[in-house]
């Protein structure tokens, strides 16, 4: 499944677009950045409320396919700019992380 297919099937809004054809093979939920950095699988959709510049660095290091901000969590402008510079897809939804993860697990 690609980021674009995930977006369409789950009605997610794109905040930062880089490569929506990137494959999503897993899902990870976490807000403690140091924990996510060491545990999020590569090519996963990372579900979080952390929309700051540090989350962009973690997404890059963990090589996730996208960040999905849950519960309409805000994306800082500095984070948006850094995501555009480093090619990090960022999407947003009003759903909570658990409900979204259940839906993702049925798709991938």
Q: What are the average pLDDT values for consecutive 10-residue runs of the chain, which has 108 residues?
A: 98 97 98 96 98 98 98 98 98 98 97
pTM value surpassing 0.85 = yes
Q: Are 28 and 7 in contact (CB under 8 A)?
A: no
How many other C-beta atoms can be found within 10 angstroms of the C-beta atom of residue 94? Answer: 12
pLDDT of residue 54: 97
pLDDT of residue 12: 98
The C-alpha atoms of residue 100 and residue 46 are separated, in whole angstroms, by 11
């Amino acid at each position: 499944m690609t980021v674009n297919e995930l977006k369409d099937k789950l009605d997610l809004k794109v905040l930062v677009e880089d490569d929506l054809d990137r494959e999503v093979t897993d899902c990870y939920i976490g807000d403690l950045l140091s924990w996510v950095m060491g545990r999020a699988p590569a090519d996963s959709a990372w579900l979080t409320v952390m929309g700051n510049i540090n989350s962009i660095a973690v997404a890059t290091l963990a090589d996730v396919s996208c960040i999905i901000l849950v519960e309409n969590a805000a994306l800082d402008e500095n984070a948006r700019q850094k995501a555009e510079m480093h090619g990090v897809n960022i999407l947003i939804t009003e759903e909570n992380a658990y409900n979204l993860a259940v839906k993702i697990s049925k798709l991938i």
